[in-house]
Amino acid sequence: MPGSLRIAYKLLVNDRGKFAALLIGISFAVLLMVMITSLFAGMMARASATIINTGARIWVMDRAVNTVSNSVPLPDFVLNAVRGIPGVRYAVPFYSGGGLVRLANGDYQAVTVIGLDDTSLIGRPRLTAGRIEDIYADDGFIVVADAEYAKLGSPTLGTQFEINDHRAVIVGIGQVASGGLFGTPTLYTTYSRATQDLPSTRFSMSYVLVEPRSESDIKAIKQRVDALGYRAMTEQDFITSTANFYEYRTGVGTNILLMTAVSFVIGLSISGQTFYAFILENLEKFGALKAIGARSSTLVGMILFQAAFTGLTGYGLGVGLCSVLIALAKLRLPDYAATVTFGNLGLAFVMVLVITAVASYLGVRRVIRVEPFDIFRT
């Protein structure tokens, strides 16, 4: 490390109070920013859980659909029409709806019911207990062992209960990639059982899942479905559409933006004020360095080093503390939705750079203007 940077480091850490205040300000700002944006990212992932867990390449739906949980039933002819589109390898019906389970103790619990195509069972979960073939047995259902599993009394193979006044038997326990957002357990069964046993409107098909023959066929499939008066979206497009709905057409996005901005202002104000006070207290030392021949560029480099060192240290502490808090929260609340992503970390890092840039700019302006004569005269 060059001598000037070593001096800058000692000036920074020797005043432990100011250094601690700088770290606390930046760490607290990073903690808030990462925590808030991670909560939003986790909620968006949970909102698209059915899309992620099913894994279908193309989803065909009514034009009015905004999110996967708010499906509009499709007429039966749509399935046959989609199957006849050139480039479609296969298309299967998919049911997603709600049900009310009556447990053995008499309590009621709302559930999400997924109906899989009877022939292919496309979108089925990975089983940790039971056999997938048993889903064809009388009243067979598969329960997902996620954070909401205990709400059904942690059923095992052979557990029986009523769902919408129909008998249901657990024949398998499965795992999925993502849990749901709204805190309801998930049950899988066949499409025919879901549409026959559960109350529904005149049409019961929620979506048509399509597998194209190749990537180049996707555009043509979308156009043909659009000509039918419906909409086809790829898996990623549907996930993005769901996220955009919650972000721009509900209050979630605005609230997240406001809370992130507030945390940024808090970090900027605390860190900027504390760093400027630190520069003022060490102004005589910078003036002395200038008097013995240190160039302005050297002093600027020292200040930038101090700001960068403080910013990166505070960033690491903030991210680490946020990760610990999220991990502890998930131990206490298994359905806690926050998820740290590279996007959250990148956004927080950019904001930390802005905070340190503003703080260092205030210090650089003050140090460049100092004259050795003024220091020694006082």
The whole-number average pLDDT for the span 47-75 is: 87
Asked whether residue 374 carries a pLDDT value surpassing 70, the answer given is: no
- The whole-number pLDDT of residue 187 equals 92
Q: What percent of the chain has pLDDT over 90?
A: 24
pLDDT band at 80 (very low <50, low <70, confident <90, very high): very high
pLDDT for 166: 85
Please give the pLDDT value at position 61: 93
Kindly report the average pLDDT of the chain as a whole number: 83
Query: Which among 66-75, 229-238, 296-305, 358-367 has the top mean pLDDT?
Result: 229-238
Task: Please check the confidence at residue 208 and state whether its pLDDT lies above 90.
Answer: yes
The pLDDT value recorded for residue 376 is 56
For residue 6, the model assigns a pLDDT of: 82
- Rounded average pLDDT over 273-278: 74
Lowest-confidence segment of 18-27, 170-179, 284-293 by average pLDDT = 284-293
User: Which residue has better confidence, 333 or 215?
Assistant: 215
pLDDT at 375 over 60: no
| Predicted confidence (pLDDT) at residue 200 exceeds the cutoff of 70 | no
Is residue 365 pLDDT above 90, yes or no? no
Give pLDDT, residue 98: 82
Amino acid at 338: A
Mean pLDDT of 197-213: 81
- pLDDT exceeds cutoff 60 at 1: no
For residue 151, name the pLDDT band (cuts at 50, 70, 90). Answer: confident
Would you say residue 271 has pLDDT above 80?
A: no
- What is the per-residue pLDDT for 78? 92
Taking residues 189-218, what's their average pLDDT?
Answer: 85
More confident residue, 286 or 222: 222
280-329 residue pLDDT tens: 777 777 777 777 776 777 877 888 888 888 888 888 998 999 999 988 88
pLDDT at 11 over 70: yes
